[in-house]
A and B are shown apart, each in its own frame.
Chain A
Amino acid sequence: MSEFNGEIKKMMIILSKATLENVYAAFVLANGARMEGIEAEMFFTFFGLEAIHKNKLEHLHVATVGNPAMHMPTMLGGLPGMEALATSMMKKEMEKIDMPDVHEFLEILTASGVKLWACKLAMEMFHYKKEDLYEGVNGVITVGDFYKQGSGLGAHMLFI
């Protein structure tokens, strides 16, 4: 009989936001898990669904308002075009450090064996259909299904 030593076996990552910095954080964590030999599954709920929505995933933005780390007055961040400007600046920096865009990142994740799940309730709320989603999405499931996926020793849940 072997005793569980506390190692991380599986990361269950819930993404509830569509701002680029949150989407990337979730993707890097999922990919990083696979690179370490840790299983990873992602649950996209509420605005997080935009990261796997075919028509939206290429157009995600950085948040310029309500984001103190932007070091920009909130009123300035709210000006038209500000989000687009900040986003294009961030994308340029990310390309420099070999960071893939959202679509390519999704391809890396699915090729690496990360399971992608869409939240059924949020899908209904936004009137999205399975066909609207990136083709690598494994399915549309309930919270209960996701918890079942995450059962077992060494599984950890992360909410972003």
Chain B
Amino acid sequence: MEKMIAGKTITVNEEGYLTNFAQWDKEVGEALATEANIALSPRHWEVITYLQNEHKNDVALSIRRIGKSGLVDIKEFYVLFPNAPLKTATKIAGIPKPASCI
């Protein structure tokens, strides 16, 4: 389905995740963060960029992997994205929702 995000027509799935990363830019990320009630700080952006790179490298994302990232620990990850952090952060990053249970 299509949705207007930051003044652009973006293709998303039924849960609101982008299906085409080429349509993502920082403004889209900002708009998605606002929808999730998150004001993005430089720290948020570091994590989002990390998630995008991991996704690009075909790494399956999980909470455990975030904890081992060397960038952010699990506690801070929950502070940055308080409600369902991995789901929220990946949505803002424009990448698919991780299917991991851990």
- CB neighbours of B85 from chain A (8 A): 35
Determine the chain B residues whose CB is within 8 A of the CB of A112 once the complex forms. 63, 74-75, 78
- Total residues of chain A contacting the partner, CB 8 A: 16
Report yes or no: A108 in contact with B84, Cβ–Cβ below 8 A.
no
A154 contacts chain B at the CB level, 8 A cutoff: no
Any B CB within 8 A of the CB of A31: yes
Whether the Cβ atoms of B87 and A113 lie closer than 8 Å is no
Residue B101 is within 8 A (CB to CB) of chain A in the complex: yes
A99 to B65, CA, bound (A): 10
For residue A69, CB closer than 8 A to chain B, the reply is: no
Q: Do A32 and B101 touch (CB < 8 A)?
A: yes
Q: Closest Cβ of chain A: how far from B9's Cβ, in Å?
A: 29
Bound-complex Cα distance A108 to B65 (A): 11
A37 interface contact, C-beta 8 A: yes
Chain A residues engaging chain B, CB cutoff 8 angstroms: 28, 31-32, 34-37, 98-100, 104, 107-108, 111-113
**Can you give 10 contacting A-B residue pairs, CB < 8 Å?**
A31-B101, A35-B87, A36-B84, A98-B64, A98-B102, A107-B67, A108-B102, A111-B67, A111-B74, A112-B75
